[in-house]
């Protein structure tokens, strides 16, 4: 159908999937902001756009609600995989997807209803090198570095999993609060150390193989869950010796399983759900131009 959309979520992190070839308008930053607006548009944590690829079976571009573009999204990749299967763009249970944050391999888990209700994603390798985020600090690796934000002296570990992350830990059973996330998230996202901005995770080890995280996503703000954030936090925690792999990462929206290999290659497994399919109205489309 012309101007159609597919809505799905991964643990409450919701995305719209669209095929630009089927749209009568361009997915400009203005159009993306309007569509993702939760009061004046459809509402979404972002838009996943199917694009051609010469490197993989499918290509994917990821647009944030503020109109900016993300390199990679773990929840987005699971939603995109479900879309491909549900709309019969593929019948295969395994395929590759080309993102701006690198090529990934996806394996679908089909339930008794024939739906791809979960997926395992090979997310690539984590790196702590400043140039990969990028970060302007001069260091071999961004491991437990001091940082000033929102009037507080903190320590962070910088991780790239194809997109940038700033991970902060509390230990000794002390929890981060939502108020701290709303204060520190935007301050760290726009910190001068991160010229292309960054995602932020406030993490607490809650067991020998378990983390709890709160998430502030670059270009989206507070989110209930994030696959790439889970990968980043798990990688940082393993690197610092706070947990061992495989890591169960718990978030307000639910739980993901992250395997961190010795070379920091990451495998993520988690659920995915379809919510709705539909079409944008002609009058709404006119407002996008």
Q: Is 85 left (phi over 0), alpha (psi -120 to 50) or beta?
A: alpha
Q: What is the mean pLDDT of residues 94-116?
A: 96
Eight-state DSSP code of residue 127 = B
Res 167: pLDDT? 98
Residue of 75, 111, 103, 107 whose CA lies nearest to 224 = 75
φ and ψ of 236, to 5 deg: -65, -40
Q: How far is CA 195 from CA 42, 138, 155, 189, in A?
A: 31, 14, 18, 10
**What's the pLDDT score for residue 127?**
98
pLDDT score of 174: 85
140 burial via Cβ count (<10 Å: 0-12, 13-18, 19+): exposed
Residue matched to tokens 């981060």: 176
Q: Mean pLDDT score of the chain, rounded to an integer?
A: 96
pLDDT at 27: 95
Closest of 113, 110, 109, 48 to residue 75, by C-alpha = 48
| Distance between CA atoms of residues 48 and 73, nearest Å | 10
CA dihedral (231, 73, 217, 49) in degrees, to 10, reads 180
pLDDT at position 152: 94
- Compute the average pLDDT of residues 172-181: 90
Annotate 166-211 with DSSP letters as a single string: EEEE--TTPPP-HHHHHHHHHHHHT-TT-TT--EEEEEEEEETTEE
Q: Is the pLDDT at 172 greater than 80, yes or no?
A: no
Percent of the chain residues past pLDDT 70, beyond the cut: 100
Position 1 scores a pLDDT of 72
Confidence of residue 140 (pLDDT cuts 50, 70, 90): very high
Q: List the domains of the chain with CATH numbers.
A: 4-124+272-288 (3.10.310.10), 130-263 (3.10.310.10)
Rounded to two decimals, the pTM is 0.93
């Amino acid at each position: 159908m012309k101007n159609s959309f597919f809505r799905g979520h991964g643990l409450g992190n919701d995305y719209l999937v669209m095929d630009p070839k089927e749209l009568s308008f361009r997915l400009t930053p203005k159009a993306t902001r309007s569509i993702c607006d939760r009061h004046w548009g459809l509402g979404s944590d972002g838009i996943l756009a199917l694009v051609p690829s010469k490197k993989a079976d499918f290509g994917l571009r990821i647009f944030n609600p503020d109109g900016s573009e993300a390199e990679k999204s773990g929840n987005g990749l699971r939603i995109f995989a479900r879309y491909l299967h549900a709309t019969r763009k593929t019948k295969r249970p395994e395929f590759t997807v080309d993102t701006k944050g690198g090529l990934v391999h996806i394996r679908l888990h089909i339930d008794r209803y024939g739906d791809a209700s979960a997926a395992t994603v090979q997310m690539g390798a984590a790196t702590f090198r400043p140039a990969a985020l990028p970060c302007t600090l001069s260091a071999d690796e961004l491991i437990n570095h001091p940082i000033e934000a929102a009037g507080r002296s903190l320590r962070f570990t910088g991780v790239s999993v194809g997109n940038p992350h700033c991970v902060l830990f509390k230990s000794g059973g002390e929890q981060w609060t939502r108020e701290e996330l709303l204060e520190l998230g935007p301050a760290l996202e726009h910190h001068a150390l991160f010229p292309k901005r960054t995602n932020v995770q406030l993490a607490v080890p809650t067991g020998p193989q378990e983390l709890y995280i709160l998430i502030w996503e670059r270009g989206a703000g507070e989110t209930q869950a994030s696959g790439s954030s889970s990968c980043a936090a798990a990688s940082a925690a393993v690197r610092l010796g706070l947990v061992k792999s495989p890591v169960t990462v718990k978030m307000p929206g639910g739980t993901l399983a992250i395997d961190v290999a010795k070379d920091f290659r990451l495998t993520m497994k988690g659920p995915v759900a379809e919510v709705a399919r539909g079409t944008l109205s002609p009058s709404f489309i006119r407002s996008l131009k």
